[in-house]
Amino acid sequence: MSKNNEPFILASSSPRRSELLKEAGYEFEVLPSGIDENAYPADGLSVFEYASILAKAKAFAVALKHPGRLVLGADSIVRQDDSIIGKPADAKDADSIIRRLFASPHELVSAVAFICIDTGTELIDTDVTTVYPKKISEDNIVDYVKSGDWKGKAGAYGIQDPQSDKFIERIEGSFTNVMGLPMEKTSRYLDRLLRLRTQ
Ligand SMILES: Cc1cn([C@H]2C[C@H](O)[C@@H](COP(=O)(O)OP(=O)(O)OP(=O)(O)O)O2)c(=O)[nH]c1=O
């Protein structure tokens, strides 16, 4: 790989993804991809394939404009009973997603894609976390929908939000994966790819 000390690019508008990488001490530039996720049909794909396609599309959209830079794209999707649940369109949608989602366990799948055009780097991986809900009261649903914390979040909730302990019993797997970046895998890949660039 050519010697390159430029910071990698996070191709995401997600504040949570930036926070997670900052907390882990990484130096990076944020350039959201701006792709239209609705342009990528999910039918016939597993949730892992669909998340991987979206993560790769986001990373490539930015990498093609910055061929010498390492670019990280990511996508998080909720799966319950084999159906894919995305981000709520409005408060009513958030209300119905939460009622459905917290009636039984669901899975949160995130995909990460590391792309560098000049070096031909293309590394894609996924992670899955199972979320076990608590019995959620009517008041808690109404309060959470009113809080607006569901905006911009797949599955209409944020495990990092203070209210989430009212409706999440426990999780099996990575906590940060639910937030949008499985940091255990992401930091392992980043450390390896960033080290390769400086050799
Ligand atoms: C389930 C869950 C999702 N989320 C957020 C993470 C992501 O921001 C969002 C998943 O939607 P994504 O489409 O993966 O990401 P995004 O639209 O926010 O940003 P971009 O496409 O530019 O990368 O949901 C949480 O913050 N906490 C959670 O517990």
pTM above 0.80, yes or no: yes
CA 86 to centroid of ligand 1, rounded, Å: 9
CATH code, domain carrying 120: 3.90.950.10
Residue 198 host element (H or E): none
Ligand 1 atom at shortest distance from the alpha carbon of 108:
1
170 within some domain: yes
User: 111: which strand partners?
Assistant: 75, 126
**Span of 10-14, 132-136, 184-188 with lowest mean pLDDT:** 132-136
> So what's the pLDDT on residue 199?
66
Q: Is 2 part of any domain? A: no
Mean pLDDT across the stretch 80-104? 91
Considering its fold, how many domains does the chain have in total?
A: 1
Give the up-direction half-sphere exposure of residue 63: CA atoms within 13 A in the CB hemisphere: 21
Chain segment 16-63, per-residue pLDDT in tens = 999 999 999 999 999 999 999 889 888 888 999 999 999 999 999 999
| Residue 48 identity (one-letter amino acid) | F
Residue 181 pLDDT exceeds 80: yes
Read off the pLDDT band of 95 (50, 70, 90): very high
How far is Cα 46 from Cα 21, in angstroms, rounded to an integer? 27
pLDDT digits (tens, 9 = 90+) for 132-167: 999 888 998 999 899 999 998 889 988 888 888 888
Q: Are 75 and 28 in contact (CB under 8 A)?
A: no
Distance CA 36, CA 113 (A): 17
Longest dimension (CA), the chain: 57
Atom of ligand 1 nearest to the CA of 73: 23
> In this structure, is the dihedral angle defined by the CA atoms of residues 136, 139, 140 and 143, taken in order, positive or negative?
positive
Catalytic-role residue among 36, 75, 118, 139:
75
List, chain by chain if needed, residues with CB within 6 Å of any ligand 1 atom.
Answer: 12-14, 16, 32, 58, 74-76, 87, 108, 152-155, 157-160, 178-180
Does residue 114 have a pLDDT over 70?
Answer: yes
Q: What is the mean pLDDT of the chain?
A: 92
Residue 63 inside a domain? The answer is yes
Residue 89 has pLDDT above 50, yes or no: yes
Whether 192 is in a domain gets the answer: yes
Could you list the residue range(s) of the whole structural domain that residue 162 is in?
8-198
CA distance 92 to 89: 8
pLDDT-derived band at 1 (thresholds 50, 70, 90) equals: very low
Q: Quote ipTM for the complex.
A: 0.87
Whether residue 152 lies inside any domain: the answer is yes
Question: To the nearest whole percent, how much of the chain has pLDDT over 90?
Answer: 73
- The answer to whether residue 18 is domain-embedded is yes
Identity at 110, one-letter amino acid code: S
**In-domain check, residue 163:** yes
Is 3 part of any domain?
Answer: no
Report pLDDT for 198: 67
Q: Please indicate whether residue 75 is annotated as part of the active site.
A: yes
% of the chain beyond a pLDDT of 70: 97
Q: What is the pLDDT of residue 188?
A: 96
